[in-house]
Copies of this chain bind each other. A is one copy, B any other.
Amino acid sequence: MNRAIPGKRIELGVCYYPEQWDESLWVDDYKRMAAMGFSYVRIGEFAWSIFEPLQGVFSFDLFDRAISLAEKCGLKVIMSTPTATPPAWLTHNHPEVLNVSKDGTTHHHGLRGHYNYNSSTYREFTKIIVEKLTKHYANHSAICGLQIGNEFNCESNVYYSDADHDAFREWAKQKYGTLDQLNDAWGTVFWNQTYSDWEQVFLPRVTPADSDNPHHALDEKRFVSDSTIRYAKLQADIIREHAPNHWVTTNGKFGHLNHHQLTNNLLDFYAYDSYPNFGFVFSEGEDDPLFDRKWSWNLSTVRDISSQFAIFEQQSGPGGWVNRLEQPTPKPGQIKLWTYQSIAHGADMVLYFRLRTAIKGTEMYWHGLNNYDNKPNRRLKEAAKIGEELKRVGENLFGTDYLAEAAILHDYDNEWDGELDTWHGPFTGKSIRSWFKAFQYQHIPVDCFTLDDDTTLDQLMTYKVLVYPHAAIVTPKRAKLLEQFSEQGGTLILGSRSGYKNEYGHAYMKSFPGLLSDLAGVEVNDFTRINKVDDTPYIEWGEHTVKAETFNEVLTILSEKTTVLATYQNSYYANEPALVRTSFGKGTCYYYGGVFNDQLADLLLTDTGLKTRSELTLPKTIELAIRASKDKEYFFLLNYSGEEQTITLNEPMNELLSDVTFQSACSIEPYGVMILTKV
């Protein structure tokens, strides 16, 4: 997963849509970008009708001119394949390429992402346009790399066209070989769902109530991921063959896609589209929401895929579509804050979405740096300032690694199973939010780490502490690996409903926490959801009283090495163990029979002994991130508040962007950024 971004320093750029403007406007736009210290222009992702206006008729003139002009202005060009939006002639003449909703409604031309990955027609037309495009631009000196499609599985991440049903049937045949094995894996003996002929096998369809077979539903997500990767591979293979000197990537992060597999198999690095402003419009019903700071978790999951990565769309204006998800304008400082947030977490290239604001179409309110008038405004000036800064310091930071001693574990099986299963999925969401907040507020950098059956002990041992909140699905191999981690001295933290399901999502015929019972030192003989009617139980941990809402497991101690840290109160299982710590080999395993909340995550993190860096004393509103080269550490301080904050340096440090040396107390402006290195 070590991924290098091309180049020698962190460079900036923009998304640009030459086809949307009068050609006479291009040159001033390009010159402006260059003057701002920008290097990259990304183009082409929605331009199939420009490249192939009629079936079999190809035209690259407009983009040839746009690219040449960009080159003349000193810019490098990232070209996208245009497959996220098939042309009207294609969807009209070949409706089998369209996606279909579960209830059979066809998604028509008029938005984007309305095709399916499995139609042989669509795959054929894709092949033709990607081959033409790649060959045309294979040796163009201005082109530095290619983006495959755009934001796979955005707008829709489920597919029910006939082609998808058919492909799913083939996929299931490949996976299970026999119907007996499939019937067993999907538990079809329940509710008489047994299949007696392959022809009876479909993706989940509409039934009298909205409760898909959970094992079938889990395989559906695996199939969608595989279909997406297979489709991306079709394109990647063509590009690798015809344009072997260009790097290849794709952008965005949406559901039902194993990004690790995609990236490892097909890409040079991964690119993310970062819109932290959504943090102010999406409410997750938390008491203490992180808003834009939550994007640091999103960026951590991207870093998990690609140790260094690019941002292909960095929000730079107010956003939202014509009729939904309306967002405010970034406040003075926020564009800079969000840019360095990306860089702090591993971005080595950042493109802003977008230079100009579209004057037509569904995204006319997804503003770019400039407004409709294209006059230089405060947002553009803010970005120009960042361009200037990165010219000075972008080389120092480039290629450095994010430093973390802890990780929150993730895996695709539980992510996908938990989408349907409300007995663990929502618990994981809630617990991760609390844990991430605890790491943030204690200023302890943390990774996301994705576990699978290929994960090695060495990989895990780079961390001191792993948090794996409610991993329902745990295979024997993964259970073993987690045991080895603790055996070798690691600290593992588990929550309720861990380890009770196998890879198909069947429950083991075991007491909770199933395969993790030995490691956790406990088993569960009673448990309950907490309903709205009862008073909320709480736990007592030393002098601390912590609410135990949502779900409670009553723990039975199995191991002599297990210490009860906290017991339940205010329920029929009062005084029974709720939270335990078990010595396991040289290490430790914590097990909590509930769902983590902010207070408990905070207390537990303290209990692990992990500490923030001694060089700095920081207020809660500041994020600390550290990128390091072999011999130097860069301390990123990011102020998410609209108030000036005071920080304390416990030794003199140099601030990279201003080249000023600070010591003891100093202030950081509202939405301000500092990058400190030891003197």
Known A-B contacts A207-B110, A422-B322, A533-B291; A194 and B87 likewise in contact (beta carbons under 8 Å): yes
Q: Is the Cβ of A322 less than 8 Å from the Cβ of B420?
A: yes
- Tell me, rounded to whole Å, the shortest Cβ–Cβ distance linking A430 to chain B: 15
Q: Is the Cβ of A509 less than 8 Å from the Cβ of B189?
A: no
Q: Is the Cβ of A280 less than 8 Å from the Cβ of B533?
A: yes
Of B46, B192, B209, B534, the contact of A192 (CB 8 Å cutoff):
B46
Chain B residue, CB-CB nearest to A197: B89
Chain B residue, CB-CB nearest to A104: B105
- Tell me, rounded to whole Å, the shortest Cβ–Cβ distance linking A511 to chain B: 4
- Tell me, rounded to whole Å, the shortest Cβ–Cβ distance linking A49 to chain B: 4
- Tell me, rounded to whole Å, the shortest Cβ–Cβ distance linking A642 to chain B: 8
- Cα–Cα, bound, A112→B208 (Å): 7
Interface-located stretch among A327-335, A463-471, A594-602: A327-335
Of B89, B216, B327, B329, the contact of A196 (CB 8 Å cutoff):
B89
- Residue A526 at the B interface, CB < 8 A? yes
Q: Is the Cβ of B525 less than 8 Å from the Cβ of A107?
A: no
Q: Is the Cβ of A324 less than 8 Å from the Cβ of B85?
A: no
- Cα–Cα, bound, A322→B320 (Å): 34
- Residue A54 at the B interface, CB < 8 A? yes
Residues of B within 8 A of A194 (CB): 49, 53, 87-88
- Cα–Cα, bound, A280→B528 (Å): 13
- Cα–Cα, bound, A86→B48 (Å): 46
> Which chain A residues (189-233) contact chain B, with CB distance < 8 Å?
189-197, 199-200, 202, 204-216
Residues of B within 8 A of A360 (CB): 186-187, 189-190, 215, 504, 506-507
- Residue A176 at the B interface, CB < 8 A? no
Of B190, B318, B328, B371, the contact of A361 (CB 8 Å cutoff):
B190
Tallying the copies of this chain within the complex gives 3
- Residue A510 at the B interface, CB < 8 A? yes
Q: Is the Cβ of A329 less than 8 Å from the Cβ of B214?
A: no
Residues of B within 8 A of A283 (CB): 532
Residues of B within 8 A of A60 (CB): none
Which secondary structure dominates where chain A touches chain B? loop
Known A-B contacts A191-B46, A280-B531, A526-B377; A362 and B88 likewise in contact (beta carbons under 8 Å): no
- Tell me, rounded to whole Å, the shortest Cβ–Cβ distance linking A136 to chain B: 18
Q: Is the Cβ of B190 less than 8 Å from the Cβ of A87?
A: no
Q: Is the Cβ of B192 less than 8 Å from the Cβ of A47?
A: yes
- Cα–Cα, bound, A648→B63 (Å): 75
- Cα–Cα, bound, A19→B46 (Å): 54
- Cα–Cα, bound, A86→B371 (Å): 51
Q: Is the Cβ of B420 less than 8 Å from the Cβ of A192?
A: no
Additional pairs, 7, CB under 8 Å, beyond known A108-B202, A213-B361, A371-B525: A88-B194, A110-B216, A187-B360, A323-B422, A324-B422, A326-B422, A357-B507
- Residue A281 at the B interface, CB < 8 A? yes
- The proximity string for A residues 403-433 relative to B, scoring 1 for CB distances below 8 Å and 0 otherwise, is 0000000000000000011110000000000
Known A-B contacts A194-B53, A280-B533, A510-B373; A208 and B323 likewise in contact (beta carbons under 8 Å): no
- Cα–Cα, bound, A106→B205 (Å): 9
Residues of B within 8 A of A192 (CB): 46-49, 82, 85-87, 112
Chain B residue, CB-CB nearest to A20: B189
Q: Is the Cβ of B372 less than 8 Å from the Cβ of A510?
A: yes
- Cα–Cα, bound, A318→B524 (Å): 15
- Tell me, rounded to whole Å, the shortest Cβ–Cβ distance linking A522 to chain B: 13
Known A-B contacts A88-B196, A195-B88, A507-B359; A46 and B190 likewise in contact (beta carbons under 8 Å): yes
A contact residues, range: 35 or more
- Tell me, rounded to whole Å, the shortest Cβ–Cβ distance linking A100 to chain B: 10
Q: Is the Cβ of B190 less than 8 Å from the Cβ of A358?
A: yes
Of B214, B281, B527, the contact of A364 (CB 8 Å cutoff):
B214
Residues of B within 8 A of A615 (CB): none
Chain B residue, CB-CB nearest to A423: B365
Residues of B within 8 A of A528 (CB): 318, 328-329, 331
- The proximity string for A residues 90-124 relative to B, scoring 1 for CB distances below 8 Å and 0 otherwise, is 00100000010101111111111110000000000
- Residue A608 at the B interface, CB < 8 A? no
Residues of B within 8 A of A331 (CB): 528, 572
Q: Is the Cβ of A212 less than 8 Å from the Cβ of B110?
A: yes
- The proximity string for A residues 30-55 relative to B, scoring 1 for CB distances below 8 Å and 0 otherwise, is 00000000000000001111000110
Of B20, B105, B216, B321, the contact of A103 (CB 8 Å cutoff):
B105
Residue among A156, A191, A216, A509 having the largest count of chain B Cβ atoms under 10 Å: A191
Q: Is the Cβ of B211 less than 8 Å from the Cβ of A111?
A: yes
- Cα–Cα, bound, A373→B108 (Å): 50
Q: Is the Cβ of A191 less than 8 Å from the Cβ of B54?
A: no
- Residue A500 at the B interface, CB < 8 A? yes
Q: Is the Cβ of A108 less than 8 Å from the Cβ of B329?
A: no
- Cα–Cα, bound, A555→B374 (Å): 17
Residues of B within 8 A of A372 (CB): 500, 507-511
Residues of B within 8 A of A212 (CB): 110, 362
- Cα–Cα, bound, A190→B525 (Å): 59
